[in-house]
Amino acid sequence: MSAETPPPSPPAPPVKQARNPLHGLTLERILTELVEFGGWDGLAGQIDIRCFKSDPSISSSLKFLRKTPWAREKVESLYLYMVREKARRARTGGGR
């Protein structure tokens, strides 16, 4: 009888995130779409963050959001809301 151990099993495939609507989206893309949808004033009205109110830019906002998990979560949540609103408006013919 041989005391050899069987070869290691291959690594598990990466977990698919088919149900995660943010999968594959960069924070820059999310922020850009939010600004295109509602402008900086609209974004600042929804999320009270200074980088959206005082001389806003994608670059400065990204730096802040990458360092501040609670703010990033709010931006991601607002993005998901925007996506749902766009889909709802498309179904009902509500424009914008």
**Phi/psi class of residue 2: alpha, beta or left (left: φ > 0; alpha: ψ in -120 to 50)?**
beta
Is the domain 27-90 a CATH 1.10.940.10 member? no
Residue 58 has pLDDT above 90, yes or no: yes
Residue that has been written with the tokens 């990466």 in this structure: 14
pTM score, whole prediction: 0.75
How far is the C-alpha of 77 from the C-alpha of 66, rounded, in Å? Answer: 15
Residue extents of the structural domains in the chain: 27-90
Look over the chain and give the mean of its residue pLDDT values, rounded to a whole number. Answer: 87
CA separation, residue 40 to residues 14, 33, 35, 82 (Å) = 37, 11, 6, 14
Which has more pLDDT, 79 or 6? Answer: 79
Lowest mean pLDDT among 2-6, 42-46, 79-83, 86-90: 2-6
